[in-house]
């Protein structure tokens, strides 16, 4: 079976696993230079994966998503998000759950959330002190956690809100380096021997979070929540074709999925955006001109429509995809992709990073150039920060709105500068990639 996979990396599988955990970008760069658009890796104890980076091949995969098991390919994430997460589902159950979860993240609901995002940003930025350095990523984590607690969980005060905030921050920070992230990839480290082991601490925090969410759900079931607009209330009110609501276990696992998929990712993208905007004074100037053109009373939905701001956010997501690859897709039967015949149970993994750095699509890909998104339209297999096919990120519209509004709110009110003018490297944080050191910045004035 292994021999039939295209362009197999020949180094030992344990070494490939270490390289994949430590530096997934360098790993992909090295072997795409050697093998081109398709190569296969073997990760010791996890399995074999075929990495693809040609848009045509990715388009073929997206158009045939029903021929793959995708939830099964996300098993690595189960310890974090629970087995009832949409990410781990396939087939009819996946379609049912996705349909139930879709409404809160789209349409007019976003307008109501937009005001809240701007208020949260202003409130957290108001704590900055002039001349005092702060870490952009940590501040953005505070913003994105507040957005999730208020907009998704519907919590703005009270005991549960006060307990969840530090608990979730501590839990998410447990995988803040490649070494600490390795427990997500190495099953032998996943032993719960109480809170003196990292895995035991993680499971303990997970249990505490579940208990708090269960208490919140139980309380809401006894109250009339018809006037509440938060995502949890809308999820609780949703019914499938048979009139069935989501179970408590489904609700809790989906809330955790949103936490992991929407908190780290948005904070990291914003930190990179602040880094690049302050590295490139011409970009900052154009953004200020565009924001100033709206006048004094900024309407959040008008801000979200600004073309240059949108292009800046798109370029940030292109250069710094938070996750380096798309969800693995496991073939259900023999299938032909890009001229290769793959046997059943082969795992294909399109690379976001390699697609976003293709010279033929993005000339000078190492250069931060938002204009490229004003000059051409990219197809759904050429630009894939939120995935694609039947697995496109459910919250992509809310995520894009949050990134744009937070960036615009801060830049409209504050003058910032980078503490050091030096390149910042990517570093693994759990399943994601973040700026090493978190982008230290300083507030130098008001606007």
What is the C-alpha to C-alpha distance for residues 210 and 200, in angstroms, rounded to an integer? 15
Mean local confidence (pLDDT), 230-236: 87
Mean pLDDT score across all residues of the chain = 88
- Are residues 429 and 177 in contact, defined by beta-carbon separation less than 8 angstroms? yes
Amino acid 2: pLDDT: 43
Entry pTM: 0.91
What are the two backbone dihedrals, phi and then psi, of residue 238, each rounded to the nearest 5 degrees?
-70, 145
Please tell me which residue, 86 or 279, carries the higher pLDDT value: 279
pLDDT, tens digit, for every residue of 41-99? 999 988 999 999 999 999 999 999 889 988 887 777 777 777 777 777 778 887 888 88
Residues 6+ apart with CB under 8 A from 107: none
**Which two structure tokens, joined as six digits, stand for 368?**
């931060």
Select from 266, 218, 247 the least CA-distant residue to 100: 247
Long-range contacts of 126-134 (CB under 8 A, 24+ apart): 128/414, 128/443, 129/443, 130/443, 130/444, 130/445, 131/442, 131/443, 131/444, 132/442, 132/443, 133/419, 133/440, 133/441, 133/442, 134/440, 134/441, 134/442, 134/443
* pLDDT mean over 4-13: 92
Biggest alpha carbon distance in the chain?
A: 64
pLDDT recorded at residue 241: 85
Token pair belonging to 271:
């930190």
Res 269: pLDDT: 95
Q: Homologous superfamily of 2-446 in CATH?
A: Cytochrome P450 (1.10.630.10)
Sign of torsion, CA 5 8 12 16?
negative
pLDDT tens for residues 164-206? 888 888 877 766 666 666 767 777 666 777 777 777 888 888 8
- What does the alpha-carbon distance between residue 250 and residue 252 come to, in Å, rounded to a whole number? 6
Mean pLDDT of 206-223: 89
CA 20 to chain centre: 19
Residue 131 CB neighbour total at 10 angstroms? 9
95-104, 119-128, 308-317, range with the lowest pLDDT: 95-104
For 28-60, the three-class secondary structure string (H helix, E strand, C coil) is HHHHHHHHCCEEEEEECCCEEEEEECCHHHHHH
pLDDT of residue 180: 64
Residue with the bigger pLDDT between 373 and 259: it is 373
What crossing angle do the helices spanning 159-172 and 198-222 adopt, rounded to 10°? Answer: 150
Question: Which of the residue ranges 154-168, 267-281, 349-363 would you say has the lowest mean pLDDT?
Answer: 154-168
Q: What is the pLDDT of residue 353?
A: 95
**Cα separation of 353 and 169, whole Å?**
27
d(C-alpha 40, C-alpha 20), whole Å: 13
Q: If you compute the radius of gyration of the chain from its CA atoms, what whole number of angstroms results?
A: 22
Looking at the DSSP bridge assignments, the partners of residue 335 are 342
Model confidence pLDDT, tens digit, residues 133-153: 999 999 999 999 999 999 988
What pLDDT score does 3 carry? 43
Instruction: Tell me if 276 sits within 8 A of 316, measured CB to CB.
Output: yes
Tell whether the model's pLDDT for residue 237 goes beyond 80: yes
Question: What is the structure's pLDDT at 346?
Answer: 95
- Domain range annotation of the chain: 2-446
């Amino acid at each position: 079976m292994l021999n039939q996979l295209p362009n197999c990396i020949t180094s030992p599988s344990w070494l490939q696993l270490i390289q994949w955990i430590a530096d997934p970008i360098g790993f992909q760069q090295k072997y795409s230079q050697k093998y081109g658009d398709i190569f296969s890796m073997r990760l010791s104890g996890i399995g074999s994966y075929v990495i693809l980076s040609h848009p045509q091949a990715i388009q073929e995969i997206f158009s045939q998503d029903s021929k793959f098991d995708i939830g099964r390919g996300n098993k690595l994430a189960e310890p974090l998000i629970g087995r009832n997460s949409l990410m781990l589902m396939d087939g009819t159950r996946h379609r049912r759950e996705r349909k139930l979860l879709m409404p809160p993240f789209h349409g007019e609901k976003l307008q109501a959330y937009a005001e809240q995002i701007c208020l949260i940003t202003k409130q957290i930025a108001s704590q900055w002190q002039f001349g005092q350095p702060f870490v952009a990523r940590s501040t953005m984590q505070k913003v994105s956690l507040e957005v999730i607690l208020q907009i998704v969980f519907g919590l703005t005060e009270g005991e549960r809100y006060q307990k969840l905030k530090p608990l979730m921050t501590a839990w998410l920070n447990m995988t803040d380096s490649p070494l600490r992230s390795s427990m997500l990839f190495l099953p032998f480290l996943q032993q719960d021997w109480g809170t003196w082991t990292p895995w035991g601490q993680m499971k303990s925090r997970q249990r505490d979070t579940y208990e708090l969410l269960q208490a919140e759900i139980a309380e809401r079931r006894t109250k009339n929540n018809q006037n509440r607009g938060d995502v949890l209330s809308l999820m609780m009110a949703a019914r499938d074709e048979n009139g069935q609501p989501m179970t408590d276990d489904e609700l809790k696992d989906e809330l955790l999925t949103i936490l992991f998929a929407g908190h780290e990712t948005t904070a990291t993208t914003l930190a990179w955006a602040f880094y690049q905007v302050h590295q490139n004074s011409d970009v900052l100037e154009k953004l200020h001109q565009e924001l100033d053109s709206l006048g004094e009373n900024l309407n959040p939905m008008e801000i979200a429509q600004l073309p240059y701001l949108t292009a800046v956010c798109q370029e940030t997501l292109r250069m710094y995809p938070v996750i380096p690859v798309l969800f693995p897709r496991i073939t259900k039967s023999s299938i032909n992709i890009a001229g290769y015949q793959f046997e059943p149970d082969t795992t294909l993994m399109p690379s976001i990073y390699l697609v976003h750095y293709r010279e033929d699509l993005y000339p000078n890909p190492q250069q931060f150039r938002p204009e490229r998104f004003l000059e051409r339209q990219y197809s759904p297999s050429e630009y894939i920060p939120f995935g694609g096919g039947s697995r496109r990120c459910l919250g992509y519209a809310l995520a894009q709105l949050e990134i744009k509004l937070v960036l615009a709110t801060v830049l409209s009110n504050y003058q910032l500068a980078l503490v050091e003018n030096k390149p910042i490297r990517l570093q693994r944080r759990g399943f994601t990639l973040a700026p090493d050191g978190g982008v230290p910045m300083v507030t130098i004035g008001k606007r």
